[in-house]
């Protein structure tokens, strides 16, 4: 039972954003029980959270060698492949995950993200809707659907989805940024500014929040304010194109 308990402790550490502690717990679990699939999956999840992606991929691959259809290992590997800019390969991983667990919401979202990376926005939207059918009003699902709809030129529908996302999760900074950007494009400056200020209030470390505020101020012919916001963006990421 010790390795199983270590896996449980790893998941608790992950839930409280203690990635390195989670890595230690999962590493101890795989040493104690090298044939325990759940331990390798937990190690992959912990290493991914710690942004040690190459090692995370190896942990997932070890889990897959033990159980080729393990849905969580395939899911994790798919997410890593998106992060590495290989969405075509990610699609195959998500397909295998969904074969084993058709109701795995994260795999539907991952598949949608991979398809969106490839510019296949209609198909991506279908995957996001599949996730929302399993869990209605899921903030991440509504946000992703809004993103796909915006790319498809369906701005009003996208706005509705972003509003649902922030209603479900008021601290969803990325959704506030996308909503603000969309409202700016529609000429709704006051509402756009309110949404963007909400975003940077929640996450002042997000470059896109400051950049979108700068664009808004530039369009209002207020270059000094725009410059101030751009300096904040550059301070966060000096290499920002």
Q: Per-residue DSSP letters for the chain?
A: -HHHHHHHHHHHHHHTT-HHHHHHHHHHHHHH-TT-HHHHHHHHHHHHHTT-HHHHHHHHHHHHHH-TT-HHHHHHHHHHHHHTT-HHHHHHHHHHHHHH-TT-HHHHHHHHHHHHHTT-HHHHHHHHHHHHHHSTT-HHHHHHHHHHHHHTT-HHHHHHHHHHHHHH-TT-HHHHHHHHHHHHHTT-HHHHHHHHHHHHHH-TT-HHHHHHHHHHHHHTT-HHHHHHHHHHHHHH-TT--
Following CA atoms 65, 68, 72, 77 in sequence, which dihedral angle do they give, to the nearest 10 degrees?
70
Nearest to 161, CA basis, from 191, 194, 148: 148
Instruction: Work out the angle between the directed axes of helices 71-83 and 87-100 (0-180°, nearest 10).
Output: 160
Is the backbone of residue 206 left (phi > 0), alpha (psi -120 to 50) or beta?
A: beta
- Which pLDDT belongs to residue 240? 74
pTM of the predicted model, to two decimals? 0.90
Q: Residue written as tokens 């795989």?
A: 30
- Which pLDDT belongs to residue 68? 94
pLDDT along the chain (241 residues), means of 10: 92 96 97 97 98 98 97 98 97 97 98 98 98 98 98 97 98 98 95 97 96 96 95 90 69
- Which pLDDT belongs to residue 1? 65
Is the backbone of residue 240 left (phi > 0), alpha (psi -120 to 50) or beta?
A: beta
Task: Give burial (CB, 10 Å; 0-12/13-18/19+) of 35.
Answer: exposed
- Which pLDDT belongs to residue 239? 84
């Amino acid at each position: 039972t010790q390795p199983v308990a270590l896996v449980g402790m790893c998941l608790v550490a992950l839930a409280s954003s203690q990635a390195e502690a989670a890595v230690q717990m999962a590493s101890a679990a795989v040493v104690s029980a090298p044939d325990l699939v759940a331990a390798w999956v937990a190690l992959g999840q912990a290493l991914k959270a710690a942004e040690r992606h190459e090692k995370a991929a190896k942990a997932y691959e070890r889990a897959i060698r033990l159980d080729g259809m393990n849905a969580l290992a395939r899911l994790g590997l798919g997410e890593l492949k998106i992060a590495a800019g290989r969405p075509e390969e990610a699609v195959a991983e998500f397909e295998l995950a969904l074969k084993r667990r058709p109701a795995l919401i994260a795999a539907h979202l991952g598949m949608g993200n991979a398809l969106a990376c490839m510019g296949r926005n209609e198909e991506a939207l279908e995957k996001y809707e599949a996730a929302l059918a399993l869990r209605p009003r899921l903030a991440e699902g509504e946000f992703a659907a809004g993103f796909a709809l915006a790319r498809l030129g369906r701005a009003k529908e996208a706005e509705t989805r972003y509003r649902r996302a922030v209603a479900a999760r008021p601290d969803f900074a990325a959704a506030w940024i996308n909503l603000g950007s969309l409202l700016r494009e529609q000429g709704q400056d006051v509402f756009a500014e309110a949404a963007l200020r909400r975003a940077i209030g929640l996450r002042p470390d997000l470059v896109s929040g400051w950049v979108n505020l700068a664009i808004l101020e530039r369009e209002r012919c207020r270059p000094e304010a725009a410059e101030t916001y751009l300096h904040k963006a550059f301070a966060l990421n000096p290499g920002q194109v």
